[in-house]
Structure 1
Amino acid sequence: MIWNGNQPRKIIKNHSFSSCSSILLLAFLSSLGLLMGSCGSLPKESAEAQQERRGAAGQAGGATPVDVAIARESGLQQQLEYRGITKPFREVSLRSQVEGRLVALNVDEGDTLRLGQIIGQVDDTILKTELNQAEAELAALRSEVARANAQASNARVEVEQARLQVAQALSDANRQEKLLKEGAISQQAAEQARTNAQTAAQALRAAQEQVRTEEEAVAAAKGRLTAQQALVAQAKERRSYSRIASPIAGAVLDKVPEPGDLLQPGNEILKIGDFSRIKVEFEVSDKELANIRVGQSVEVKLDAFPNNTYVGTITRITPAANTYLVPIEIVIPNRDSKITSGLYARVNFANRGQERVVVPLTAIQGREGESPNQNPESKIENNQGKVFVVVRGGDKTTVAARSVTLGKRADGKVEIISGLEPGESYVVRSGKPLRDRDAVSLSILSEKLDSTPK
């Protein structure tokens, strides 16, 4: 309706035309909204694929950007980590060697001890009495030996006297025999002289026998003296056991009795640990035992000291395995005496094989037309693969496909047994699949081609 002045005037339009126009407009707007919605909901992967195709199309006829590295020999390492607990290099159980009441014990758990340090005392009253008795018996035996020696000496003097008497008697008998032949004395006087000589000889033999008897008595007395001296030494040793001394230098791990307790021989008093070196015990699978040997160096880290790394040595491989696990023992130094017992340790073995060229797995290329982002492991068949070697000719840089034989793989790297020599430049990764003799351009991540292997 159109107003003209004060009088409205009605204008009647073609109603069917207006309705058709509105329907067409709504249909157009709806179609446009659906198209925009569907474009906005394209998967991210499809969008990236389209961008990749556009990028590849933009580079058609140009050089493909690649990351280049220089082949170098190195050892492919695989770190094997095991967990263990620190222990003292050795533990000594200090036990009582005598019976008695514990009078004093002047240490506690954690105290540091010196070798031979006196740390306690057991009541030694009975031991002292036994020592005094043994020493008194020893003194009596010394007197007995002295008397036996005196008697033996007297017997030897008597032997000498008897020997002189025998000599005198023989001389008299010879003189009397001469006088008898001259007729100066009677037969009876000569026989008497011979009898005196025989008697003197018998007295000499008796004196010599007495000497042997006295010497045997001296030997017996000396034997008893020696035995008693041993008893005295034993008594002194037993009394010394009443003083409790540290058998090693170390730290007190455990304290059992308290002063006033009655000790029996064999009762544990202290447990002492030697922390001059530290043991770490852990277990390995029997399948890994072939790579481990006594004397091998290992790397040890302690959670208590995360910034320190210790180098240990395998000292023992226990021959008896427990459910396919073999106990291993290593020793690490403890020069600053900071490492204690019961710390959490991580033991690492670095198994290094023969030095070979080692490259990233991303350098292993697939067949022509395969995506460079494909899993490198899937490109390896029977330990065979392919790499692209960089070839420089004037101002143009190209790549040459090279078949390689692969070895061990670990930590995203692979050994090249043959096919790639040290010092050669190879493609680590590329933006699109490469073909033999393709032109390439080095990215900013590439090594310089004139670099020499380290």
Structure 2
Amino acid sequence: MTRWSKALRYSIRLIAGLGLVLWMPSCGFFAPSGAQTERSGRSDASDQPIAVETARAQIGTLTEIVEYSGTTRPQQQIALRAQTAGEVVDVGVDVGDLVAQGQILARIDGGLLTARVNEAQAELSVRQSEVAEDEVAIADAQATAAQATATRDQAKIDADRLRKLANQGAISQQAAEAAELALVNAEQSVKATQAQVNARQQVIAAAASRVNAQQALVDEAQEQLAWVNLRSQLPATVLNRLVDPGDYVQVGATLLELGDLSTLKVMAQVSELELGQLTIGQPAQIRLDAFPDIETISGRITRISPIADATSRLVTVEVTIANPDGRIGSGLLARVRFKPPGDEHIVVPTSALENGPDKNTIFVIEQDHQKTTAVARSVRIGQNHQEQIEILSGLEINEPFVVQSDRPLKTGQAVRLSILSEGEAE
């Protein structure tokens, strides 16, 4: 109940109470007049129960709560867009359907991409066969080099032996020189075959690089082929369907919009003058016009925009609410109230403190089977604002107290509850 509705209620009660005061003497509601008392022989009118209006103590705030309008949105929302151009061949879901993560929701014709994959794989096979041939060639070159090395080693042994014999005069110098020349030729053959091995190694390295490059092309083509199947990235609800089978889409075109409705956010525009009273994590109460049976929904502030609109000076505040059953949809009008920061206290009308001898006394209602009485109680008061005052201590929640009476009260005074009282004492 807002401050103005409360004030209106109290005004109506006051007017009705005054009407009762004027009307009831003739109907016997209040004590009889002095002449009637004298004729009836009864006690004085001050001994009769006093009519009082009561209410029950409730937690409240003196700060005026402002209501803002916002719109519900999924906490997480994505758009499935085409990553390749082509004709849509299938759309397996519709608006409102629940989808699982990884589920295929739509397909685009992938004939051209399939041909590209096959072509890339064929070229890869050619590159791999080239590498295989080069590996055979390098094996032959390595065998030739090994044979040349063995021949050189034998030539060196022969040259050394014949040179020793020639120096001893056992053979001619020409025989030793011929052996040494054969060693030189064998060493040249080793160098030549080793060069062939190195060349073959460079060729096979280049072929292997071509294989890797072609494998990358195959992987890319296969990835592009996978783009024809549009999958959901999260468990969600289909919010919008923008294509039908047979439609041709370009790269980047949106096919479906998905949203996780298990958690919603409400975007409200708040005046910059109210930012000082708002903090991250602060509670909020949300009402939805679409669901009048739901009184309020609890939420919390999860984000406050650091930028205000340059024209309106309004700041976007995000409030998050739980929606586990998915009953609340996206795009609904929401009315948001932010719970003021600080401790809450019992708030009563200032008239409740005007019935006693001082401003720190309030009358509470005590009732038994025989009578109802008003008992004075000292309270500690806090701030007051527009005929409302905080009770810091001395009054319990839901405890009945006197809002106003037609005459001053004293502790133990017998009272009767007016028709405007909020419930009877227990």
Give the shorter-chain TM-score range: 0.7 to 0.9
- Evaluate the alpha carbon distance shift between residue 268 and residue 426 of structure 1 in structure 2; reply closer, same or farther with a 3 A threshold: closer
Offset from partner CA, 1:94-150 (integer Å, 9 cap, x none):
222222222333333333333232233322222222222111111100000111111
Task: Say whether 1:351 aligns with 2:340.
Answer: yes
Aligned counterparts of 2:267 and 2:344: Cα–Cα separation in 1: 31
- Evaluate the alpha carbon distance shift between residue 143 and residue 179 of structure 1 in structure 2; reply closer, same or farther with a 3 A threshold: same
Aligned counterparts of 1:68 and 1:116: Cα–Cα separation in 2: 65
Counterpart position of 1:441: 413
Aligned counterparts of 1:314 and 1:236: Cα–Cα separation in 2: 45
* Contact 1:297/1:312 (<8 A) preserved: yes
Counterpart position of 1:125: 111
* Contact 2:74/2:263 (<8 A) preserved: yes
DSSP-derived class of the 2:307 partner = coil
Counterpart position of 1:240: 226
* Stretches of structure 2 lacking an aligned partner (at least 5 in a row): 1-17, 38-43, 364-372, 419-426
The correspondence for 2:314, drawn from 325, 346, 352, is 325
- Evaluate the alpha carbon distance shift between residue 223 and residue 73 of structure 1 in structure 2; reply closer, same or farther with a 3 A threshold: same
Tell which deviates more after alignment, 229-238 or 309-318.
309-318
Counterpart position of 1:161: 147
* Stretches of structure 1 lacking an aligned partner (at least 5 in a row): 1-42, 369-384, 391-396, 447-454
DSSP-derived class of the 2:336 partner = strand
Offset from partner CA, 1:218-248 (integer Å, 9 cap, x none):
1110110011011111111222222333343
Percent identity between the two aligned chains: 36
Give the partner amino acid of 1:324: R
The offset of 1:159, in angstroms, is 2.0
DSSP-derived class of the 2:122 partner = helix
* Contact 2:355/2:405 (<8 A) preserved: no
- Evaluate the alpha carbon distance shift between residue 404 and residue 48 of structure 1 in structure 2; reply closer, same or farther with a 3 A threshold: farther
DSSP-derived class of the 1:197 partner = helix
DSSP-derived class of the 1:119 partner = strand
Query: How many residues align structurally?
Result: 377
* Contact 1:63/1:439 (<8 A) preserved: no
TM-score by length of 1: 0.70
* Contact 2:352/2:362 (<8 A) preserved: no
Task: Say whether 1:173 aligns with 2:162.
Answer: no
Tell which deviates more after alignment, 323-332 or 49-58.
49-58
Task: Say whether 1:335 aligns with 2:324.
Answer: yes
The offset of 1:216, in angstroms, is 1.1
DSSP-derived class of the 1:318 partner = strand
The correspondence for 1:99, drawn from 49, 61, 85, is 85
The offset of 1:311, in angstroms, is 2.8
After TM superposition, list the pairs within 5 Å mapping 1:17-416 onto structure 2. Answer: 65=50, 76=61, 79-308=65-294, 309-322=296-309, 323-351=312-340, 353-354=342-343, 358-365=347-354, 386-388=359-361, 406-409=382-385, 413-416=388-391
Aligned counterparts of 1:61 and 1:125: Cα–Cα separation in 2: 101
The offset of 1:89, in angstroms, is 2.3
DSSP-derived class of the 1:159 partner = helix
* Contact 1:122/1:243 (<8 A) preserved: yes
Offset from partner CA, 1:412-434 (integer Å, 9 cap, x none):
641256xx7568x9975343247
Aligned counterparts of 2:21 and 2:220: Cα–Cα separation in 1: 96
Please say which structure displays the higher CA radius of gyration. Answer: 1
DSSP-derived class of the 2:297 partner = strand
Offset from partner CA, 1:35-67 (integer Å, 9 cap, x none):
xxxxxxxx9799579999998988687699586
Aligned counterparts of 1:221 and 1:409: Cα–Cα separation in 2: 87
Query: Superposition RMSD on alpha carbons, in Å?
Result: 4.0
Aligned counterparts of 1:398 and 1:243: Cα–Cα separation in 2: 77
DSSP-derived class of the 2:198 partner = helix
DSSP-derived class of the 1:164 partner = helix
- Evaluate the alpha carbon distance shift between residue 61 and residue 263 of structure 1 in structure 2; reply closer, same or farther with a 3 A threshold: closer
